[in-house]
Amino acid sequence: RAAEWQLDQPAWSGRLRITAKGKVAFIKLEDKTSGELFAQAPVEQFPGIAVESVTDSSRYFVLRIEDGNGRRAFIGVGFVDRGDAFDFNVALQDHFKWVKQQSELAKEAQNPEQGPKLDLGFKEGQTIKLNIANMKKKEGAMGTTRPRPTGLGGLSLLPPPPGAKPAGVCPPGERPAPLPAPTQLPGTPITDSLLSWPQPTPAPAAADVWGDFAKASG
Cβ-based burial of 25 (10 A; exposed 0-12, middle 13-18, buried ≥19): buried
Domains and CATH numbers, the chain: 2-108 (2.30.29.30)
- What pLDDT does residue 95 have? 93
Least confident interval from 37-46, 53-62, 88-97, 107-116 = 107-116
Average pLDDT in the 142-150 region? 56
CA count, 13 A, side-chain hemisphere, 21: 5
Residue type, 149: P
- Residues 26, 66 contacting (CB under 8 angstroms): no
- Of residues 43 and 188, more confidence is placed in 43
Q: How far apart are CA 186 and CA 69, in angstroms?
A: 118
In this predicted structure, what is the pLDDT of residue 70? Answer: 83
Could you tell me the pLDDT band of residue 205, with boundaries at 50, 70 and 90? low
> What's residue 106's pLDDT?
83
| Averaged pLDDT, 142-154 | 55
Give the separation between CA 69 and CA 71, rounded to whole angstroms: 6
Residue of 132 and 75 predicted with greater confidence: 75
What's residue 2's pLDDT?
Answer: 87
- Report yes or no: 58 and 83 within 8 Å, Cβ to Cβ: no
pLDDT above 60 (res 126):
yes
Q: Name the DSSP letter for residue 204.
A: P
pTM for the full model?
A: 0.48
| Per-residue pLDDT reduced to its tens digit, 171-186 | 566 666 666 655 555 5
pLDDT above 80 for 79: yes
Q: What is the mean pLDDT of the chain?
A: 75
Residue 158 neighbours by CB distance under 10 Å:
7
Burial class (CB in 10 A: 0-12, 13-18, 19+), 123: exposed
Q: How far apart are CA 218 and CA 207, in angstroms?
A: 17
- What pLDDT is attached to residue 6? 80
Among candidate residues 27, 49, 47, 45, the one with its CA nearest the CA of residue 37: 27
pLDDT band at 108 (very low <50, low <70, confident <90, very high): confident
Q: What pairs with residue 158 in β-bridges?
A: none
